[in-house]
C-alpha cells in the first residue's frame, strides 16, 4: 500500500501563496517521489482550485479539502458540499480533525455523518482520531479511540474500498505543540486502530491506511514513517514550506 504523505495547511495561505508552495513542492519531490508514496495537499477552500493547477499532471499528487457538510446542498450558510469539493478536483477530505472537534465543537455523531456521507458521495475520507492529554494521563487512550472509531465509522458501508478510507491518529497534545508522541506510543495506538479496523471491516481493515499526525518534522519523519502500522503522516506546521514538507515526503 502506498504511504499517504499529507499537508494540512489549515487557515494559512492566499491563493497565490498556495500555488507557489505547491509548485515548489512538485519541483522538489516530483521526480524523486518513491513509487510507494502519494502526496496529498489540503489547502483552505479558497485556494483549492489554484493549488490543483500547480499539482496537475502529477498523478501521485492529490488534492484534499479540510471539511464539508454532510448534505447535498441547501440552506447551510458557510458550509461546502462533497460535490463542490469534487468539482474543484479534490480526491480526499478530512473529517473529525481535532481542531474541528475541540475548537469548533464537532461531535462524534457529526463526524460519523460526515465520514459516511463523504464516502457515499465519492470522496476518499481521512477520519482523524486522538486523545487529549488528560485522557492519556487517565489511561483512557483506547477507550477514546474506540468511541471515536465506533461513532466515526458507524454509517460506513462495510464493503467500502479500503483505499478510500484512512484513519489519522493524532494525539491532541502533540498537534502544533512540538511535542511528538514517542515511537512506543505511536506503535501502540496504531496497533489498536488496526485491530478496530479489522474488527469493523474484516481483512479489508488491514489494507486501510493509518496516518500519524502531531508535530511531524523533517528530523523525525524517517523514524515515524517506518514504525509498524504507520502508513503515512498528516502534517500541519512543517508542511507550510515546500522545502520542509518535501524533506518529510522523501524521508527514508
**Cell numbers 524521508: residue:** 251
Give Cα separations from 191 to 40, 112, 252 (angstroms): 24, 22, 22
Q: Does 67 bind ligand PGA (CB under 6 A)?
A: no
- What is the β-pairing status of strands 92-95 and 124-129? parallel
Rounded Cα distance, 19 and 9, in Å: 12
Q: Does 8 bind ligand PGA (CB under 6 A)?
A: yes
| Residue 179 annotated among the catalytic residues of the structure | no
User: CB of 250: closest distance to ligand PGA in angstroms?
Assistant: 17
User: CB of 77: closest distance to ligand PGA in angstroms?
Assistant: 26
Beta-carbon-side half-sphere exposure of residue 81 (alpha carbons within 13 Å): 12
Nearer to ligand PGA, 43 or 201 (CB): 43
Q: Does 251 bind ligand PGA (CB under 6 A)?
A: no
Q: Does 44 bind ligand PGA (CB under 6 A)?
A: no
Q: Does 231 bind ligand PGA (CB under 6 A)?
A: no
Q: Determine which residue in the list 21, 67, 148, 215 makes contact with ligand PGA, applying CB under 6 A.
A: 215
Buried b (16+ CB within 10 A) or exposed e, 214-233: bbbbbebbeebbeeebbbbb
Grid cell, residue 42, equals 489540503
| Residue 79 annotated among the catalytic residues of the structure | no
List 97, 99, 131, 196, catalytic entry = 97
Q: Give me the active site residues, please.
A: 97, 170
Binding-site ranges for ligand PGA (CB under 6 A)? 8, 170, 175-176, 213-216, 234-238
Amino acid at each position: 500500500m502506498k504511504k499517504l504523505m499529507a499537508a494540512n495547511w489549515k487557515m494559512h495561505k492566499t491563493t497565490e501563496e498556495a500555488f507557489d508552495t505547491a509548485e515548489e513542492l512538485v519541483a522538489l519531490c516530483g521526480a524523486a517521489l518513491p513509487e510507494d508514496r502519494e502526496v496529498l495537499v489540503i489547502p483552505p477552500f479558497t485556494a483549492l482550485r489554484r493549488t490543483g493547477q500547480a499539482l496537475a499532471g502529477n498523478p501521485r499528487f492529490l488534492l484534499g479539502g479540510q471539511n464539508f457538510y454532510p448534505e447535498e446542498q441547501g440552506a447551510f450558510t458557510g458550509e461546502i458540499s462533497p460535490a463542490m469539493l469534487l468539482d474543484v478536483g479534490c480526491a480526499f477530505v478530512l473529517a473529525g480533525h481535532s481542531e474541528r472537534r475541540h475548537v469548533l465543537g464537532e461531535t462524534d455523531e457529526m463526524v460519523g455523518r460526515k465520514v459516511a456521507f463523504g464516502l457515499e458521495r465519492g470522496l476518499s475520507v481521512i477520519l482523524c482520531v486522538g486523545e487529549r492529554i488528560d485522557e492519556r494521563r487517565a489511561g483512557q487512550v483506547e477507550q477514546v479511540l474506540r468511541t471515536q472509531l465506533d461513532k466515526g465509522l458507524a454509517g460506513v458501508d462495510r464493503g467500502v474500498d479500503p483505499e478510500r478510507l484512512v484513519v489519522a491518529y493524532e494525539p491532541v497534545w502533540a498537534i502544533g505543540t512540538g511535542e511528538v508522541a514517542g515511537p512506543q506510543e505511536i506503535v501502540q495506538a496504531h496497533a489498536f486502530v488496526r485491530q478496530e479496523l479489522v474488527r469493523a471491516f474484516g481483512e479489508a481493515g488491514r489494507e486501510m491506511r493509518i496516518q500519524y499526525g502531531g508535530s511531524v518534522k523533517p528530523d523525525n519523519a524517517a523514524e515515524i514513517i517506518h514504525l509498524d502500522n504507520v502508513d503515512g503522516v498528516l502534517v500541519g506546521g512543517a508542511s507550510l514550506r515546500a522545502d520542509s514538507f518535501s524533506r518529510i515526503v522523501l524521508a527514508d
